[in-house]
Structure 1
Amino acid sequence: MKKHTGLFVILSACLAVGLVITLLSLMQPKYPKAQSTHIPTVFIHGYNGNERTFGGMINRFQSQFDWASNTQTLRVDTDGTVNAVGTFDKDSLNPLINVTFASNKENLKTQAGYIKNIMTYLAEENHIKKVNFVTHSMGGSALTVFIALNHQNAELPQLNKLVYLGVPLAANDYTNKVKSQEKATAKMSQLMAENLPKSTALLIVAGYTSQAVGGDGSVSLESALLAEEIFKKSPIQTQIIKGEAGLHSLLHENSTVDCRIGQFLWSVPQTKLKN
Structure 2
Amino acid sequence: MRLPEPVELVHDGDAPFSAHAQFCDLGSVTICRFRTYGPLDLTLRRPWELVRSGDPQVVRMLISMGGRTGLTQFDRQEILHPGQAAYYLSSAPHEGWRRAAGRFSDLLMLSIEVDTLGDLPIATLRDNAACRLPVSVEMTGLLNCLGRRILCGGDHYTRADIEIVTAMLVSAVTGVLTPEADDDIPTGHRFKRSICEYIEENLGDPNLTPTSIAAAHHLSVRTVHRLFEGQDATLGAWIRALRLERCRKDLLSVDLADRPVHAIAARWGFPDPAHFSRCFTAAFGLTPGAYRRTGGGRA
TM-score (norm 2): 0.22
Greater CA radius of gyration, 1 or 2? 2
Structure having the larger proportion of residues in strand: 2
Larger RCO (CA within 8 A; separation ≥ 6): 1
